[in-house]
Amino acid sequence: IIGGYRSPIESQPWVASIFRKKRGFDCGGTLIAPCWVLTAAHCFLYSQRKEDYTVYLGKNAINETDLSKEQMFTVTKLMIHERYESENYNNDIALLQIVNSKGQCAQRTSSVRTVCLPPAKQMMPYGAACKISGYGRVSLSSELKYSQYLKETYVNAISQIACDRDYYGKHEIPLTDNMFCAASPTWKEDACQGDSGGPLVYEQNGRMFLFGIISWGDQCATELKPGVYTKVTNYNKWIAKHTGLHSFTTG
């Protein structure tokens, strides 16, 4: 996350971190049910083998271990969207089924908790301030690839139509209806490399809903180049079909 501020995991307790064994931190993700983490398909570019990944919940820092807060999981199912298109990031969505060494899924604590999924086809109001979070790059110039600590910031949602018209119309990667954009009014806050797969959430009636998955963008925190997000509400059926879960509005 470029700009924004450090965020204790308790304020975004649905944030998951996905590690590639022997390689280190790979991507963010979001806990949508005790056994299911939603993330981006493009996180699995280098390996589609579930055995190659470890998932953590409740983690404040990517290279520190706090056993009083974090929970560690292996991946029992890795489902990349059947129609993910790597050329343009269309359908950039994937599901991980997780289990710990005792055969259990996530245990709810102050640092680990599920987010709500919004009803199908319903978007938050465009222009609304949404929160994004992740352990990704904190600047493009810094040598440091990833943030040590979880960070969060606000960005305003922009519809696919407006984003295409105003910003990405002439870009080599056209936006599809499975995407929307978000940007900060100053262009100084944004998601960046390493934040992919992580959440864009919006609060409605006192509950946090997952509307976007951090997906791509032309650079980071660059004027006239909003971040691009997977539109989660286009995938309620896909998520239900693969998880067997049908109602998520419980949190």
Contact call for residue 217 and ligand 4AZ (CB under 6 A): yes
Contact call for residue 192 and ligand 4AZ (CB under 6 A): yes
Return the residue of 39, 184, 196, 243 that touches ligand 4AZ, per CB under 6 A: 196
Q: How many CB atoms lie within 10 A of CB 94?
A: 26
206/208 Cα distance (integer angstroms): 7
- CB under 6 A: which stretch of 104-112, 153-161, 189-197, 237-245 binds ligand 4AZ? 189-197
Strands (E), 35-128: 36-39, 53-57, 71-80, 94-99
- CB under 6 A: which stretch of 4-12, 14-22, 72-80, 216-224 binds ligand 4AZ? 216-224
Q: Count of residues for the chain? A: 251
Return the residue of 94, 96, 220, 239 that touches ligand 4AZ, per CB under 6 A: 220
Alpha helices, DSSP H, located in 124-227: 160-163
For ligand 4AZ, the closer CB: 187 or 238: 187
Is 246 one of the annotated active-site residues of the chain?
Answer: no
228/216 Cα distance (integer angstroms): 5
CB of 198 closer than 8 Å to CB of 134: yes
CB of 115 closer than 8 Å to CB of 30: yes
**AA identity, residue 245:** L
For ligand 4AZ, the closer CB: 152 or 195: 195
Return the residue of 84, 154, 187, 216 that touches ligand 4AZ, per CB under 6 A: 216
163/168 Cα distance (integer angstroms): 6
Closest residue to ligand 4AZ in the complex (CB): 217
For ligand 4AZ, the closer CB: 35 or 130: 130
Contact call for residue 124 and ligand 4AZ (CB under 6 A): no
Contact call for residue 54 and ligand 4AZ (CB under 6 A): no
Return the residue of 32, 96, 191, 208 that touches ligand 4AZ, per CB under 6 A: 191
Q: Give the active site residue among 42, 81, 184, 215.
A: 42
For ligand 4AZ, the closer CB: 78 or 220: 220
Encoding tokens for residue 43? Answer: 């996180």
- DSSP, res 103: S
SS (H, E, C) 137-160: CCCCCCCCCCCCECEEEEEEEECH
Contact call for residue 227 and ligand 4AZ (CB under 6 A): yes
| SS3 of residue 44 by DSSP | helix
Which residues have a catalytic role annotated? 42, 92, 196
Q: Where along the sequence are the contacts to ligand 4AZ (CB under 6 A)?
A: 190-193, 195-196, 214, 216-217, 220, 227
